[in-house]
Structure 1
Amino acid sequence: MTPSPIAVIGLGSMGYGIAASALNAGHVVHGFDVNPDQVARFTQAGGAPGALADVAPSLSAAIVVVLNAAQTEAVLFGDDGLVANMPEGSVVIACATVPPAFARDMEARCAASGVLYLDAPISGGAKKAATGALTIMASGTPAAFDAARPALDAISEKVFALGDEAGPGSAMKAVNQLLAGVHIATMAEAMTFGMTQGVTPEAFMQVIPECAGTSWMLENRGPHVRDGDYTPHSSVNIWPKDLGIVLDIAKSASFGAPIAAAALQQFLAAAGSGLGAEDDAAVAKVYARNAGLALPGDD
């Protein structure tokens, strides 16, 4: 394999793992983040140094792992925007959850500068990001897929090619996020409902993962509630954004999504209660508070 010069913009729980996986695969990887401590941490781990403006002309790919559409646009086309400095034929791999229409707009604007764009939302969590085992829901031109392939091979276990233009990847991510957000809220509802009947969170986590009512989110997030540990792996604040995107798309399609809307309200209640920076399993605290229940770890 010929090492490719790659930039990863956004070194949060997912982005840092992506950068580390690309580095472990033998690529030259530059990591960038608004938090200088994360940049220093990655550089100490073997990441290549250099300012983004200086390294941009040498990049084969830029993996953008920021929070939302606004941050994605700012990275690509804001002051000192990345795209204007990237070489022709290089590729932007955009991983944030965004509306499909936004992804199509970014693709067109990148193309105007001779830069390819892969609509590439990710799933799998921080653990799979760190082991190069993500699932990627991708769409873009064949040329974009070809340019992105070395990076994709380094960071993912499965890449679903969903279309030959941007948009379908983000549409599929919206479908996934509808399910994921609902499953987290439902896990919290079921666990706290069980508590009203004397079913402890510990017993819940022993039994339900072995039953038909389980889900990946239940098995992943339920232990956070059981252990009273809300260290954020994916925060409450993610869900008003992601479920908001789902409902905006649904509205534009004249599609009713009442279950997604109900889940969104629970995450909004959690964020409004000051829990926004906690792990998204903290939505269970909304149910517990309303029912007068004490969760594990409550004083």
Structure 2
Amino acid sequence: MDQNTKNIAWIGLGAMGSPMASIAAGSGHTVTAFDLNPAALQGLGPEVTPAGTAREAVDGADVVVIMVATGPQLDAVLFGDGGIATSLSPESVVVVMSTVGVTAVQGAALALEPYTRHVVDAPVSGGVARARKGDLLIMVGGDAEDVASVQCLLDVLGSQYPVVGPEPGDGQKFKVVNQLLCGVHIAAAGEALALADSMGLDVAQCHEVLNGGAAQSFMFQDRGSRMVAEEFDEVRSALNIFVKDMGLVTDAARAAEQPVPLASAAEQLYVRGRREGLGRKDDSVVYQLLRQGRD
């Protein structure tokens, strides 16, 4: 096999993981994938080979990419019933591309030491549309040689993949800061447009006009357009994701003894949304949540 191609085991085929696996396979890498959801495996393109178990996917792989949702899921993939840790070789490179938090990745790297010491922490940002184009921002933490060994994969998945630190967990730290900004910006967009509506403004015009000035942001543009259209059932990023991610933000802030009052307020808004049965809606539904009781 060419040094610029890899045998890749891909674990986790959610909204982001599936197009990423397809991009990797389409670029010449050999990708064998597994997900606990049979529908995710059935939806794979012909360039990706489905596996019956996670261990089957890992058999013969140079690189193992893990793209699951939470820290407990990461732990289960590695060490749970049917976990892959015992199937790894000392040369295996494990690439964690999920947003699972600093503690989860640091703990996984430590627990993997008897099996492999090659762990790259590489959470992604950019959403499904950019995942489909190989245009993600990837925040990479890990040993320089380990990162270099998977550069050919990072090349096809992201347009930017800065190395932000030498240890597993460093990428997660950057992603926590990223999610603080994203979560607060979505909440602020929902609050601003709800206020516009309460004052009797044309919400669509407000969104259009303010996107031309200093108040504009990616989230105000992107999520704001969904808020204006009230497209809450076409889920491109579920509200439940920000319940999880803002929890990671506030956990990291407590560990660092850093006040994050805006993040804490945004977290409570997402928690309220899940409590009211909106967790599987698009995260732009925070606009509807803030307007409730006035219609």
Whether the TM-score (by the shorter chain) exceeds 0.5 is yes
Aligned equivalent of 1:161: 163
Q: Distance between the aligned counterparts of 1:65 and 1:168, measured in 2?
A: 17
Identify the match of residue 286 of structure 1 among 264, 285, 289: 289
Q: CA–CA distance in 1 between the matches of 2:96 and 2:226?
A: 29
* 1:254 and 2:257 matched: yes
Cα shift at 1:154: 1.8
Deviation at 1:94, TM superposition (A): 0.6
Deviation at 1:189, TM superposition (A): 0.3
Helix, strand or coil for the counterpart of 1:205? helix
SS in 2 for 1:30: strand
Q: How far is 1:145 from its partner? A: 0.5
**Aligned: 1:23 with 2:25:** yes
What is the SS of the residue equivalent to 1:93? strand
Query: Does 2:122 correspond to 1:120?
Result: yes
What CA deviation, in whole Å up to 9, does each residue of 1:124-162 have, x standing for no partner?
Answer: 000111111111111011232022222211211111101
Higher helix share: 1
Determine helix, strand or coil for the equivalent of 1:237.
helix
Please give the alpha-carbon distance, in whole angstroms, between the structure 2 residues aligned to 1:75 and 1:23: 22
Give me the whole-angstrom Cα distance separating, in 2, the residues matched to 1:57 and 1:20. Answer: 19
- Asked if 1:244 is matched to 2:247, the reply is yes
Aligned partners of 1:238, 1:179: CA distance in 2, in Å? 14
In 2, Cα distance between the equivalents of 1:114 and 1:251? 31
CA shift, 1:82, in A, is 1.4
Structure 2 partner of 1:102:
104
Aligned length: 291
Percentage of identical aligned residues: 31
Q: After superposition, what is the alpha-carbon deviation per residue over 1:247-293, rounded to whole angstroms, capped at 9, x for unaligned?
A: 11111222211111111111111111110000000011111104x04
Q: Displacement of 1:217 after TM fit? A: 1.0
The match for 1:47 is 48
* Post-superposition CA distance 1:34-82 (Å, at most 9, x none): 221111111x432113333224131111111111100011111111211
Q: In 2, distance between residues paired with 1:233 and 1:143?
A: 35
Letter in 1 for 2:245: D
Partner amino acid, structure 2, of 1:285: Q
Matches of 1:218 and 1:89, distance apart in 2: 44
Partner in structure 2 of residue 193 of structure 1: 195
Contact preservation (8 Å) 1:111, 1:117: no
- Once the two structures are superposed, residues 181-225 of structure 1 have per-residue CA deviations (whole angstroms, 9 ceiling, x without a partner) of 000000000011111222223112311211110111111111111
Structure 2 gaps of 5+ residues are none
Give the SS at the match of 1:48: strand
What is the letter of the counterpart of residue 51 of structure 2? G
1:269 equivalenced with 2:259 (yes/no): no
Corresponding residue of 1:73: 75
TM-score, normalised by the number of residues in structure 1: 0.93
How far does the alpha carbon of each residue in 1:79-136 deviate from its partner, in whole angstroms, 9 at most, with x for none?
A: 1211221232121111222232322221122232125111111100001111111111
Partner of 1:297: none
1:4 to 3, 6, 21: 6
Q: Do 1:57 and 1:87's aligned partners in 2 also have CA atoms closer than 8 Å?
A: no
Looking at structure 1, the residues matched to 116 and 143 of structure 2 have their Cα atoms a distance apart, in angstroms, of 13
Letter in 1 for 2:89: P
